[in-house]
Amino acid sequence: MSLIDRILDLAALPAGALPEPALAMARFSLFDWLVCGRAGIDEPLSGKLRRLAEEEAGNGTASVFGGAPAPARTAALVNGATSHALDYDDTHFGHVGHPSVAIFPAALAVAEEAGASASAVVEAFLVGAEASVRIGMALGAVHYNRGFHQTATAGAFGATIAAGRILGLSRAEMRAAIGLCATRASGLKSQFGTMGKPYNAGIAASNGVECARLAKLGFTSADDGLAGAQGFLPTHSDAPDPDAGWDRPPPGTFFFEDIKYKLHACCHGTHAMIEALLTARRERPDLSLDSVESLHLRTSPRWLAVCDIKAPRTGLEVKFSYNWLAGMVLSGKDTARDDTYSDALAADPDLAAFAGQVTVEGDAAVTDMQAEGFLKLADGTQLPISHDLGRRLPEAELAAGLRNKSRALLGDDGEILWQGLEGLATLSARDLGRYTGA
């Protein structure tokens, strides 16, 4: 079966056919996305996009993080960028992209306009996210390596499908929407380190709203915008593989179940070590900078060039410093809070002293989602530590981590949001929209 037909089948799955484990993760993603969006409101780029939206004005049918309601296309643009501003949102490693920031803004904006339910938003998001991961896998690593940003490119298709599902597109209309997205989707990695990176998420979301709306209005487009002649895959990948995402996982299972959340406001390459040390502290609450003499860490060699800054000079550099972060965990500092990473922290004498006791070793047998090693305690004993981010967390543990992150970023508002979403089944999309306010 062709990729476009498989994707159209996926887009049309009835709500009852969506796997519950994937839906559960989609609900976590909704919470995490709203937290990241709220936390991004004061970022400079978010204000600039709100300014553009305010100058254009228009029918305010869709909520905007920290701003006045706007037309759906515009709200999606602002919200996509705002929620990706801190780079603290979820990641899928199947194709390597950030699904929530590209897809939720499109689904929510269109759903508010249409008066849909909050559950419809979650279902449309899930279907769009699963489609984006599978399209991203078809584009392949060569697409990413050539310079394209999957969050923006594969993400635009996910946003289109999610928005199209909310609008109730027929199969033919959804095909046209995907065809339009093929000519509209864009996004380059060369934006990394600039406001262009979060902009890419907004681009994807806004493209999704526009393509779905135009298809609903009867726009025609290429029959197969994906793998067809000069479609998105052959033009944007040197080795597209339309079948890549369809032999796994077992039928009835979604790749989306493997979505990963950032629970610490620092480089993803340090998260396995942080989790390993947090587990050790849960088992041995007496562990501290005083009781630990040294840490011996083994990590994937690829991270050594990324997050092994031995003597960070700023709070930003601390985010990329194993030896500093290890001391922070052992001294109980909250690694989930963005404001923990102050420049003063880089000059902390206790952390500096402990940093000298940390040894980091590259080990090709350790994957880039794992951390291995041991602590040597003051009493001479060795305590092994280990963590694998690839392993799924029990739901309760994941919930606790996300709630902790939300409190770290939003204070009490984080908990209010969590409790509000517990009644998701009774909420409308417009109720969700109200949570975008500061």
Q: Is 367 helix (H, G, I), strand (E, B) or coil?
A: coil
Percentages (nearest 5) of helix, strand, coil residues in the chain: 55, 10, 35
> In angstroms, what is the minimal distance from the CB of 185 to a copy of itself?
6
Q: What is the 3-state secondary structure (H, E, C) of 219-253?
A: CCCCCCCCCCCCCHHHHHCCCCCCCCCCCCCCCCC
Residue 147 binds a copy of itself (CB under 8 A) = yes
Q: Report in angstroms how near the CB of residue 20 gets to a copy of itself at its nearest.
A: 36
- 149 belongs to the binding site for a copy of itself (CB under 8 A): yes
In the Cβ-directed half-sphere of 324, how many Cα atoms lie within 13 Å? 29
CB of 73 to a copy of itself, least distance (A): 7
Nearer to a copy of itself, 49 or 159 (CB): 49
Taking the complex as a whole, the smallest distance from the CB of residue 223 to a copy of itself amounts, in Å, to: 9
Give 60 or 420: the residue with its C-beta nearer to a copy of itself.
60
Q: How many residues bind a copy of itself (CB under 8 A)?
A: 55
Counting every residue written for the chain, the total comes to 438
* 142 lies in the binding site for a copy of itself (CB under 8 A): no
Contacts of 114 (CB under 8 A, 6+ apart): 166, 167, 429
CB-based contact 211:180 (threshold 8 Å): yes
Q: Does the footprint of a copy of itself cover residue 203 (CB under 8 A)?
A: yes
Q: One symbol per residue from 74 to 113: x for binding a copy of itself (CB under 8 A), - otherwise; what is it?
A: x---------------------------------------
The correct pick among 182, 274, 371, 429 for binding a copy of itself (CB under 8 A) is: 182
Q: How far apart (Å, rounded) are the C-alpha atoms in residues 73 and 106?
A: 8
Please select the residue that binds a copy of itself; options are 80, 140, 179, 208, rule is CB under 8 A.
179
Please write down the long-range contacts of 173-176, taking CB distance under 8 Å and 24 or more positions apart.
173/215, 173/216, 174/8, 174/11, 174/12, 174/215, 175/4, 175/8, 175/221, 175/223, 176/214, 176/215, 176/219, 176/220, 176/221
Q: List the one residue out of 148, 255, 241 whose CA is nearest residue 203.
A: 148
- Judged by CB under 8 A, the chain residues 3 through 32 that form the site for a copy of itself are none
Q: How far is the CB of 149 from a copy of itself (least distance, A)?
A: 8
Residue 56 near a copy of itself by CB under 8 A: yes
Give whichever of 229 and 305 is closer to a copy of itself, judged by the CB atom. Answer: 229
Interacting residues with a copy of itself (CB under 8 A): 44-45, 48-49, 51-52, 55-59, 71-74, 146-149, 152, 179-180, 182-191, 194-196, 199-200, 203, 210, 213-214, 217-222, 225, 228-232, 234-235
